[in-house]
Structure 1
Amino acid sequence: MYKMTNFSNEVQTIERDLLSMGDEVLHQMEQLNDVFFAPNKDANGLIQQDEMVDKYDRQIHTSILHLISLQQPLPEELKTLTTMMRMARELERIGDQIVNVAELKIELDVNDLRPYVSDSFVGGYKEMLDLSTDMLTQTLEGMKDKSHQSVKKVEHQDEDVDALFFSLQQQIIYDMKETPEQIEKLAPLFLAIRYVERMADHVVNINRRLSENHELDRS
């Protein structure tokens, strides 16, 4: 009985670390909204914050492997631990995409890109980020509540993110044609929107794993 209680406590500790990791990633995503369009936005700060995400990822993986080595889990427990490990890796990849966007801003060496792009792009980019951020917010709420009610809504939102991604690609092409002298500044934005689109994909993957784990708990 003691061993089982200890095992359960360790799992709860890992779950708390996973939620803390998710909250840290969410905080960083929220800061991306103005990274290209706000004077003096500190992109370097975002890169430094990723160290905390990586630290959580290492800690969660180490804790899970240590727990498995100490006590052989039941099949459903092993499934839960594996799911948490994979969810942590998805969050870590979102953190990597955030770093990629921040590094683009630094490489562009432009304080504010707003003078070089259309208002349509600015609005679409922010909407794309807002949707992706809301997707992660709902996912973290589902993790806290141990529910999977957000899965369908998140997947629908991901479709909206994809639609914005393709629309913004066309907008960049249009802006390039209108201001060919700014191609060097506009071209990296193709990568920026791709990174945001990938963030949303990782959130969808977390939701699907959350749903799978919930179905396992019910069986």
Structure 2
Amino acid sequence: MYKMTNFSNEVQMIERDLLSMGEEVLHQMENVKDVFFIPTKDANVVIQQDESIDAFDHQIHTSILHLISLQQPLPEELRTLTTMMRMAREFERIGDQVVNVAELKKELDVDDLRPYVSASFVDGYKEMLQVSTAMLTKTLEGMRAGTPQSDKSVEQMDEDVDALFFSLQQRIIRDMKETPDQIEKLAPLFLAIRYVERMADHVVNIQRRKY
């Protein structure tokens, strides 16, 4: 049975769960950064982390729905709760994109992609994930500090991710032309960079929805 306590205390507990969920997603993103380029990096470990993120998403949604059903929130409180629910869903979607990247590694069945791609792609891909991770780090810092206003620097960093995305697309095409026998290995990388670009978009959504 759901144990009802003070409404504001319940909201604070949900906030803590939401922040913990974000930190778990951040850890998941950090783990996937080198998954294509380190032979010992196990994609399955990254994929299994998503179970924890899904559990947080379920717990947060369940807690909010119980809270709304047991005590009618004020309009401002309802906006806060629905915003937290949406933020949890954005975190969950980042986790899904990370899983998509890890699944690509398994499908490629290659321990280390560096022999098949240019060094500039490796550097650009890592930078793209690093910037996306930094975006989430700044967003979580704002959540911890309780600052509801949007951090415009996060949106600027998203523009950097977009620029890297388009640059890496062209880099893959050039690599394909230079090594046409490796097209089968290179083609999935279009998806990989798209997944990272979507991670950054979800972080921007979280940043804009901060309550």
What is aligned with 1:192? 192
Q: What is the rounded CA distance, in whole Å, between the counterparts of 1:149 and 1:193 in structure 2?
A: 29
User: Where does structure 2 lack aligned partners over 5 or more consecutive residues?
Assistant: none
Q: What is the rounded CA distance, in whole Å, between the counterparts of 1:111 and 1:130 in structure 2?
A: 21
Q: Which runs of 4+ in 1 moved over 2 A?
A: none
Q: Deviations over 1:6-43 (max 9, x none)?
A: 00000000000000000000001001111000112100
Q: What is the rounded CA distance, in whole Å, between the counterparts of 1:82 and 1:128 in structure 2?
A: 31
Q: Tell me the TM-score normalized by structure 1.
A: 0.93
| Aligned 8 A contact 2:150 2:208 in 1 | no
Structure with greater proportional helix content? 1
| 1:59-78 to 2 correspondences below 5 Å | 59-78=59-78
**Local SS of the residue matching 2:154:** helix
What is aligned with 2:115? 115
What is aligned with 1:126? 126
Q: What is the rounded CA distance, in whole Å, between the counterparts of 1:67 and 1:43 in structure 2?
A: 37
Is residue 151 of structure 1 aligned with residue 151 of structure 2?
Answer: yes
User: How many residues get paired?
Assistant: 208
Q: What is the rounded CA distance, in whole Å, between the counterparts of 1:39 and 1:70 in structure 2?
A: 51
* Paired amino acid for 2:169: Q
* Paired amino acid for 2:117: V
User: Where does structure 1 lack aligned partners over 5 or more consecutive residues?
Assistant: 214-219
Q: Deviations over 1:101-144 (max 9, x none)?
A: 00000000000000000000000000000000000000001011
Q: Please, which moves more after superposition, 77-86 or 141-150?
A: 141-150
Q: Tell me the TM-score normalized by structure 2.
A: 0.97
Deviation at 1:185, TM superposition (A): 0.3
| Aligned 8 A contact 1:138 1:150 in 2 | no
RMSD, matched Cα:
1.2
Q: What is the rounded CA distance, in whole Å, between the counterparts of 1:22 and 1:108 in structure 2?
A: 29
What is aligned with 1:42? 42
Is residue 98 of structure 1 aligned with residue 83 of structure 2?
Answer: no
| 1:176-215 to 2 correspondences below 5 Å | 176-210=176-210, 213=211
Q: What is the rounded CA distance, in whole Å, between the counterparts of 1:150 and 1:105 in structure 2?
A: 34
